[in-house]
Amino acid sequence: MTIDGFHNAARILDLFKEGLSLNGISNENFNSHLEMLNYSFKTTNYVSKILSTLRNMMGRLKPEVIHMLLNYNPKLLCTSLHKSNPRVDNQIFLGAKAYYLKKLYSYKFPVPPGFVLTTEWFRDREAFIQFPEMYQAILGMIKDKLVELEKITKKKFGDPNNPLLLAVRSGTVIPMPGAMDSILNIGMNDEIAESLSKIPEYGWAAWDSYRRLLQNWGMAHGIERDEFDRLILKFKKIYGVEEKREFSRNQMKTIAFSYKNLLHDYSVKLEEDPFQQLIQAIIFVFQSWYNARAQIFRKKLQIAEEWGTAVIVQEMILGNINTESGTGVFFTKIPFAKSSEVTLYGDFTRCSQGEDIVSGLVYPLPVSEFQTQKFPQFKGDSLEKQFPEIYQELLRLAEELIYNRGYDHQEIEFTFKSKHKKDLYILQTRPYG
């Protein structure tokens, strides 16, 4: 029986109960719809078949799963970032990250397009496990959302010639920075990495992105970060470089396959099929709700386990294309100043991806010239000096949020693919402090 069939059967039983009531027959002494149905000698063959099906289902499904199925509403499970959906457009269903991203999208801010699997999916997870038809319906929803995303981006997921890469991130109701997992560069395999590397300017970025995916995948399967760090340090010594962006295209390709060999040594296999890779990444992110960091965070903030997490799937924005691309995070005010004036204060790095700065994996540069003057120990020029167009656009967006939209001061993550403001994207915003 399909989910729709299950709902139709439940509706028929409700109508049948109403019919009995109209005939003066009360169901007060019935323990269930099924007993009431058995009572009636007027049961039709069709309803008898429903009865038999439901009896079988009730014998193999837990009561809470049946409750989930009866209350199942597919419109609560998935929503696009670029479309309004009043039923789920709140922090409870979307989580804080996606809720504010949808807000920014509605303000015409440059947010990577994508969709959200809501916390309702998390709450219905037992039903998915026990009711395969429901799981298949969810896969269909995800495929439909991918088609939407392909139309927006003019790229195709899994197509080696024009690949759409995805970022899969968590979205908890109350922000839990650093507690949950993300899987980036989803949609890559050997063939797609090779094809992407042949596109002008993407040679190095393709293999660096594939290397990152392999590391993400391995760590999601329990391989320690130190194992990957040891490998890249070894290659830095072999090739005589200090920073990974100094590796050549072919050297980065070699490193990527050394990561893949490391996964093999631990009996971990990267899923090569892009769609199955995406599904596994979504499951990884949902499961990270139970990792040790998240449990400590929840306990400290007294967050109920039942709240769960949403999962955000967006177009992957590559900040690691070359030295004119990058990523960063900033506050919209100076942290140690009493003034509430909008001033950008934060860190950024060139030729990196969105997780690098927030996870402390790279040596950062200052966002503003104020930081350079205030802290002479900063090595390297600021974003304001190196990429004035990006800086001025970030300042404009910050002023729009604080002065025009009435937001409290924010902490904002961003990525840019070039020095031009048209290639700037906002990855996240959350209240400062």
Retrieve residue 260's tokens. 């893949």
| C-beta of residue 315 within 8 angstroms of C-beta of residue 384 | no
User: Average pLDDT for residues 243-253, to the nearest whole number?
Assistant: 95
- Binned at pLDDT 50, 70 and 90, residue 258 comes out as very high
Give the pLDDT confidence of 20-30 residue by residue, as tens digits: 454 444 444 44
pLDDT reported for residue 306 = 84
| C-beta of residue 206 within 8 angstroms of C-beta of residue 353 | no
Q: In the chain, how many H helices and how many E strands?
A: 18, 10
Task: Average the pLDDT over each of 185-189, 255-259, 428-432 and give the range with the smallest value.
Answer: 428-432
Q: Which residues contact 133 (CB under 8 A, 6 or more apart)?
A: 1, 2, 3
Strand order in the sheet with 309-315: 78-80, 114-117, 309-315, 166-172, 183-186
- C-alpha closest to that of 300 among 135, 165, 179: 179
Task: Average the pLDDT over each of 32-41, 249-258, 332-341 and give the range with the smallest value.
Answer: 32-41
pLDDT reported for residue 130 = 74
pTM here? 0.85
Give the pLDDT confidence of 379-419 residue by residue, as tens digits: 789 999 999 999 999 999 999 999 999 999 999 999 999 99
pLDDT reported for residue 38 = 54
pLDDT reported for residue 28 = 47
CB atoms within 10 A of CB 74: 14
Give the pLDDT confidence of 103-144 residue by residue, as tens digits: 999 999 999 999 999 999 888 877 777 777 778 888 999 999
For residue 42, is pLDDT > 50?
no
CATH superfamily, region 75-315: ATP-grasp fold, A domain (3.30.1490.20)
- Eight-state DSSP code of residue 114: E
Which stretches within 240-273 are classed as H helix? 249-265
Distances (CA, A) of 74 to 79, 99, 169, 202, 381: 10, 19, 21, 39, 50
pLDDT reported for residue 138 = 87
Classify burial at 238, counting beta carbons within 10 Å of its beta carbon; exposed 0-12, middle 13-18, buried 19 or more. exposed
Distances (CA, A) of 272 to 186, 216, 246: 10, 14, 28
Characterize the bridge pairing of strands 183-186 and 114-117: unpaired
HEC string of 271-291 equals CCCHHHHHHHHHHHHHHHHHC
Per-domain boundaries in the chain: 3-60, 75-315, 326-431
Give the pLDDT confidence of 68-102 residue by residue, as tens digits: 666 667 789 999 999 999 999 999 999 999 999 99
For residue 45, is pLDDT > 80?
no
Retrieve residue 118's tokens. 């809501």
Give the pLDDT confidence of 211-220 residue by residue, as tens digits: 999 999 999 9
For residue 192, is pLDDT > 70?
yes
- C-alpha closest to that of 311 among 94, 73, 110, 91: 94
- Binned at pLDDT 50, 70 and 90, residue 41 comes out as very low
Rg for the chain, CA atoms, rounded: 26
For residue 40, is pLDDT > 80?
no
C-alpha angle 427-186-252 in degrees, rounded to nearest 5: 95
- C-alpha closest to that of 54 among 9, 19, 11: 9
Give the pLDDT confidence of 47-74 residue by residue, as tens digits: 566 656 656 666 666 666 666 666 667 7
Of the two residues 136 and 354, the one the predictor is more confident about is 136
CATH class of 326-431: alpha beta
| C-beta of residue 249 within 8 angstroms of C-beta of residue 201 | no
Retrieve residue 128's tokens. 């998915």
Retrieve residue 15's tokens. 């109508």
Of the two residues 137 and 262, the one the predictor is more confident about is 262
Q: How large a percentage of the chain has pLDDT more than 90? A: 64
pLDDT reported for residue 23 = 47
Q: Tell me what the pLDDT averaged over the chain comes to.
A: 87
